[in-house]
Structure 1
Amino acid sequence: MSSPGTQIDPLDGVRILDLFAGPGGLDVAAHFLGHKSIGIEWDRNACATRYAAGLPTFHADVTVMRQTRFDEIPRSVDVLAGGPPCQSFSVAGRGAGRAALDTVKEFMRRLVSGEDEARIDEDLHSLNVDPRAALVLEPLRWLLKAIETKGRDPYRVIVLEQVPAVLPLWDVYAQLLRSGEGRLGGVKYEADCWELKTEQFGVPQTRTRAVLIARLVGSGAVSRPSTTHRSFDVRRGRGETHQTEAFTLESRPADKWVSMAEALDSADALPGSMVDMSRFHSKGRTDFFVVSNYGSNGNPKKRGRRLSSEPAFTVTGKVSRNKIYRTQVDFEENKFDRFTIAESGVLQTFPHNFPWSGNDQAQQVGNAVPPLLGMHVLSHALSGAAPSDTQLADSTTWPESSSDLTAHLRDIGCGDRTRCPEGSHKVSRTRRKPAP
């Protein structure tokens, strides 16, 4: 496995294109599986993290990149992956995208049927919905662009992920890909989609994602990725009192979900670790409980709790607002701690030393695909098998990238900044008070 810090040409042999790449969840997964990837990401903070990590990146708008810079995508790319922004579909959002699911399905069918795209865009922009809802169409448009561009081959594999509310759209994607009709020009895929729970793949948090996998017909059948751990019952009943004794690590079977304490203690034990759990040690083990920033059961004042011997709540961009208490006494006295960015990243299964950079780092962590889930999904999509034990063991530490590589990737991604998203590099300055 080559290090991103030792590659002579970052774009040589790239085979995975990651749309809406964020700080690199799928790219990190691809690296540990031995595949090179390049991401398209509009947020300059996420790009800063990607450059520091040695991940090839275009700092660009996905739509603009497809329309005007498609020829810059390496021709070696044969895997299309992506997770379009989920705010408009998320249960935590306003739900404009959920209300427009049927409308978006119709636009998908219109795109494949061959209707004029300018007319489709005009109709799309006239709708009173969150504009981000339309971005779920982008992977389909990239697929059609590849099929219709001379000198390009259809993507061999497609991997998409989103919040569970988008599963009906992935189902329509799968139907269209299997049909080969219209602009697909007879190109057919084996395709299917599912809801996957992250804790069933060893991720130390409860998070459900809608995932689609498609392979060109002739490349093998598509099946649901095999789970490695049990699911966690988020509806488990217990009183409001914090009861550590009933949920000890020692009583947990080996194939059960992975707890926060296990993940963080493992990271803490690594050489040069950026995670320090000593502040939570009690009687020979890491012991704490987390109070969520979000309400539960429709009551904004009722905050859920998770013990250190349980998986974390879904890691969102507000993860830094969760409060961590060592004891019930600390809770009653409001003496709390917070997860660091490195610790939050570990709960997302990023390596403990992943070089988070730029601003809004908590948001970057929360927006990312958990790399461990990505490894299972990508490995299954590409080879029909789970990641090897060696690949999983190697995924705990990130190889350091040289300053020369970071500078080179920044030049590839931003150059003179004239083609970056408009206004993305503007730096706000604090206004000085007028002299008295």
Structure 2
Amino acid sequence: MNPSIQQPLSTLQLLLLDLITPLRTVTQAQVDALSPQDWQALLKMVRQHRLGPMLHWQLGQVHAHLTIPPECRAEWARSHKKNTLRNLLLQRELLLVHQLFKNAAIPYMALKGAYLAYHAYPNPALRPMRDLDILVPKDQVLKAYQILLDAGMSHMEDYQGSPEVVMALYKHLPPLRSASGQVNVELHSRLFHHESEGRPQPDLSDTPGFWDRITSAPIANQVISFEPPTELLLHMIVHAVYDHQFNNGPLLLSDLAFLLSTQTIDWPLFWSLAQLGQQTRGCLLALKLTQRYWGIEHMVWPSTTADEQIELDAATDMAACLMLRDFEARGDVFLHHELLKSTSPKEKIFFLLRKIFPSKDWIAAIYPVRRDSWQIYFWYLVRLLDRLRYRVPAFWRARQQPQLQHEVKEITRLTQWLAG
């Protein structure tokens, strides 16, 4: 337990999950039991996982009977207002991208938050967005990238690598900063990573008929192209469960809940796609969490045995707390988790060496240098110094934190269950 708080961290995490959902009961006694230190810990989780707008809304919808510290209510109200303005900026940039690609006859799909905020949530302010994610067919994504640059977008300082190299390694090209300087735009050539747990991963965008199933919906008198609802459901689950082990927070649950309550899902297609990608267990887990906290009906489940249901319930309990772990420590948790998977000292050493000295393609994807240039060794030195200055000290500090080590063990258990 963090010595600065009185309640166990898991108690605070589960209480916060109950506060942001419509189905769970929260009593005044639970709220009154929180110390000032507990409230500070809870506020930190809210900020890290962008839950202020949803809390502000739910306190008016289903938890109006609760007496909450005024400073907390005020902060969450401010975040709701701030997100309203932020989403207007993102909407403007989405419309600009739409017009650019329309003029160039380039097909695209706006992904995840752009659709959810305006066509699933009851109010766009409830769905924070860090950036705009846009999918473009692989054979046109580099052309689309150049169109955005020609229109005034710019490379970001932390992402100076070659788009061609990045495309071969990652699912999206280096992020671009909008001409306004207020929004980041990520062009995707894939929805999923190239690999998952060391095995090639088929991509949703390559499935037959994917681009024929584009969803079109209006935003500010323009018809915008979006990801089809069934694929969007699977995309969000894979992103949260397999890519992030739930460290991107409980907005996943409201995303799924509002999508399922507003759109028709092709369940046979959904489960066949999940089976194709060996992602059925992750889908079961995410939907079970959504049902537990949001009470969504009309979901179609595949058949499971009694033993499988017991395992699923245990995984659901585990995942609930993992959704609200320290966002700032996610890199340390991931590194320790990957290290724990190495079974011998030799494997651990080789793993760390690969992290410190990655492939030339990886260096060329991050830094402004070609993989065949002699200057690439200078950038290896830059990376090494950066690791020694920042990551190594953070890595050793993290090893001394009991909570982080607990999270590493829980993630290891979860990933083992997901692997089946």
What is the TM-score with the length of structure 2 in the denominator? 0.29
- Larger strand proportion of the pair: 1
What is the TM-score with the length of structure 1 in the denominator? 0.28
